[in-house]
Structure 1
C-alpha cells in the first residue's frame, strides 16, 4: 500500500519517483558549508536548510543535488506548509569534532533513488465490511471514536512511523497514546502490518516476525511521548480511553506532511480540546530521521491563560526499577530501563529528552482515572509557544544488542542529548 500513498504525499516523495541513472546538471550551482563547531562527534546529524538561503525567490526548477568529495549525499525536499512548493532541504550526515563540510549543490532534473530509511504507514476504512485503504489524511469528530463506531477504523489503530532503527504508532482512534514497534532489522516494515489478507483490521503485530513486533504495553497511559494538561491540579489527557464513546476533542485532523528517504513528518491538529471548563487548540508535529532510536515531537497550544501545566508522558508499566533524571546541558533526560515489554519478556529502555528551560520536575500519574501508569514531566507553557522534545526506545533485540545493559542505554540517551544540542552552522556561497 505504500506505493499508493506515495503518489499523494508532498514533494519529498516526488523526489523518490525520479529514478533515472544519469543526473542532468544545470549551470547554476551553490556551495554550502556545514560546520560542527562543537568538540563532539555527531553521528547521523539532521540538518535542514531553508529554501530561502539557496533559492530566495523559489524560482529554480528541478531538485537540489548535494555532492561532497565526489559522493552524493542523500537528501530530500519538504513542503511544510502544503502550498505545493518545497520549503526546506533536509539531509542527515556525520560530523567529526570541529569538522566543516563544503558541499556542492547542483540543480538537476532527475534525482537518484536514495535508500528508504524512513516511512509512514496509514490506512483506514469507513465501515467494518470495507477493506482498509491507504490514506494520507483524516478528520475525526468527537463521536467517531472506536467504542462509538463499534469497529476499529484504522490500521494499527492509527498512523505508524519509523526509521532504520525503531518504529512508533499513534492511537488516532481517540486515545492519542504513542506506542513502540521494536525492529530487529533496518528494512522498512511490511505494508500489511495491522491488516489481514482480506484487508480487514487485525491485531497481527503482537507476535514476533523477522522485522520485529509491537513490544510496549500502553494501557491507560499516554504511552511514550503522549501528553496532557494540568489545570488547578486536575490532569486531563489529550483524548479518551478505549471504553469512552465521546472524545474530549471536538475535531481531530491528521496529515502526512512528508514521507521521504531521510525524513518523515506527521501533523495533528486538535480543535476545542475540553480541559477543566476551558477549550484549547493544539498543533502537534512529529518528525523522524535515520540513525536515532527515537522521534522528535513539537507541540503548541492556543488558549493558554497561565494556569496550565503541560505534562509529557513516559509510560511506566512493568517498571520495577524507578526513574533516572539526568541534566545534560540544555536538556533533561528522564530514563527508565527494565523488562518494560509485554509480560516483562524483554528488556527495553525508554526515555524522554525534554528542554531544561521551563522544566518543573515530574510527578507520577494517578493510580486510577483517565491517565494512569506514567511518569509525567511538568512544564510551564506559554500561549502558542512550541515545546519540542524527543522520545527514545532501545530494545535488547534491536540492531544494538547493548541496550540490554542499563548503563549503556543511559549513556546512549545522554550522549544523544549532547548531540541534539549542537546546532550546525550553515553558510551559503553562490
Structure 2
C-alpha cells in the first residue's frame, strides 16, 4: 500500500474529459478485483463533489447518489474540520466481480430524500438518569472499573455498526473492548443502563472480551527503544464527536502531555466505523516526535493462542483465533496495518508493570501524518461461520480489500 493513499480516506479522482455526458457529469468507479466487493466505502472531497452536482445547492439541500440502474446508494455529508460546512461526502456501494458503476450526484430537497437508516452509532453518556449524552468532557485519571462505571454508561464512549461494537475505557487505562452483536440494529444506547448487564448474554449480544492490562482490541502505546508507554495517562485528555450517520461515525480521542520516559507527547486518535465492516479504523497523530519513536497497537493475549500473519492486498494482517470470548466462545481477533507502515511484531511480557499480555505490532510514526490501522473481530454468536478459522481469515482478507484504496480509481465523465 502506497503511503500517499490513506486506507481511511480519499480516493484518486481522474478527470477524463471536460465534456458532459447527456445526463450530466458522472463519477465512474470500477471494482479492480476478480471477486465481489460488498460495502465498499468512498470518501470524496467537496471540491470534487461540486464538479459533479446536478442542481443548485441551498441550505435545505441534500445529495442523492444513484448508479446507472437508478439504485439509491447510502450516503452522508460530513463536516470534518468543524467549520459548520460539510467538506466530505461519504457513500457506500456493492460491486460484482470487475463491475463498473457510473454514479450520479443530484441536489435534492432534504425532505424529499427521506431519512436513511443509520447503520453506525456512537454513544457516550452518563450512567445515571436521564442518561445524558456528553461531549468534550475531560477523561478521568483513575484506573479502575468501579470508579468510572459509576459515572459513564459502558465506562466511556462506545461505537457500533450493524455487525459489531466497541468501547473505550474513558480513564487512564484507555483500554479497548468489544461488544459482540446478534442483531443489525443499533443497540448500544440502551446497554449498561436500567439494570441491563452487558457482561451477560442479552438478546442483542454482550461484552465479549477480557482486556486486563493488555492493549485489548487495538489500544495504543508509544515505543522508544525497548520501552513501551501506554497512551492513557496524560495532563489532559478528551473526546470529540465529528460525525454520526448512515455510512460512518467518526470521533477523536485527544491526549495532551502523554508521559513517555522524560518526554511528553500530544496524541490524537481518530476512530471511525463504517457500515457492514467487521472492524473499526484508526488514524493516530503524535506531535513533538524526536525520530526514534514508534506506535504500538495489538491484540490481547490471555489464552496463549498462536498468532498468524499474512500480507494481502498491501495490508499486513495479524490475528488470533480460538476460545477467547468472555464465556470461552470462539472469537477471532485481527489487526490490519498498511504494509508500508508496519515495522515489526513482538510479544509483550506475560506479567509485570505496564502493557502486558499483548501481541504487539509496531507502526511508523511520522510528524504531521497519521499512522493507520484497523482492528477486526469475528464472534461465533454473530455469525456461525466464525466457528471455522478459514472463514475468519477470509473475512480478514475481504477487510484488507476494503481498506486498500490503491487499485481503486474514480473518473469524472
TM over 0.5: yes
Quick check: 2:142–2:148 contact (8 Å CA) kept in 1? Answer: no
Within-5 A mapping of 1:52-71: 52-55=47-50, 60-61=57-58, 62-68=61-67, 69-71=69-71
Question: For structure 2, which runs of at least 5 residues remain unmatched after alignment?
Answer: 1-22
Per-residue CA deviations over 1:173-227 (Å, capped at 9, x if unaligned) read 2211111000011111152211226xxxxx7100111110001111111211111
SS of alignment partner, residue 55 of structure 1: helix
1:300 to 285, 299, 302: 285
Deviation for aligned residue 1:41: 2.3
Match of 1:13 in 2: none
Output aligned runs, 1:162-181, within 5 Å.
Answer: 162-181=160-179
Does the C-alpha gap of structure 1 residues 148 and 307 become closer, same or farther in structure 2, counting only changes over 3 Å? farther
Q: Which one of 215, 233, 236 corresponds to residue 251 of structure 1?
A: 236
Q: Secondary structure at the match of 1:54?
A: helix
1 CA distance for matches of 2:29 and 2:52? 22
Alignment map for 1:353-364 (pairs within 5 Å): 353-364=336-347
Residue 159 (structure 1) aligns with: 157
Cα distance, 1:291 vs. partner? 1.5
Indicate whether 1:272 and 2:257 are aligned: yes
Distance 1:272 1:162 in 2: 29
Name 1:208's counterpart in structure 2. Answer: 201
Give the CA deviation at 1:261: 1.1
Contact 2:160 2:188 in 1 (8 A): no
SS of residue in 1 equivalent to 2:345: strand
Native 8 Å contact 2:37 2:95 kept in 1: yes
Equivalence map 1:30-429=2 (5 Å): 30-55=25-50, 60-61=57-58, 62-68=61-67, 69-110=69-110, 111-124=113-126, 131=129, 133-140=131-138, 143=141, 152-196=150-194, 204-239=197-232, 248-318=233-303, 320-344=304-328, 346-366=329-349, 367-398=351-382, 400-423=383-406, 424-429=408-413
1:342-375 per-position Cα deviation (integer Å, ceiling 9, x unaligned):
242x000000011211422211112211211101
Q: Structure 1 pair 45/370, CA: closer, same or farther in 2 (3 Å)?
A: same
Q: CA deviation at 1:301?
A: 0.5
User: Is the 2:140–2:171 Cα contact (8 Å) retained in structure 1?
Assistant: no
1:219-259 residue CA offsets vs partner (Å, 9 max, x unmatched): 111211111112131111112xxxxxxxx301112111111
Q: Per the alignment, in what secondary structure is the counterpart of residue 76 of structure 2?
A: strand
**3-state SS of the aligned residue for 1:115?**
coil
**Separation in structure 2 between the aligned mates of residue 115 and residue 343 of structure 1, nearest angstrom:** 32
2: distance between equivalents of 1:149 and 1:406?
A: 38
The CA deviation at 1:151 is: 6.4
Contact 2:239 2:252 in 1 (8 A): yes
Q: Which stretch shows the higher mean deviation, 180-189 or 131-140?
A: 131-140
Root-mean-square deviation over aligned CA pairs:
2.3
Partner of 1:416: helix, strand, or coil?
A: helix
CA contact (8 A) 2:148 2:155 kept: no
Deviations 1:10-40 (A, max 9, x none): xxxxxxxxxxxxxxxxxx9642222223433
Residue-pair matches, total: 382
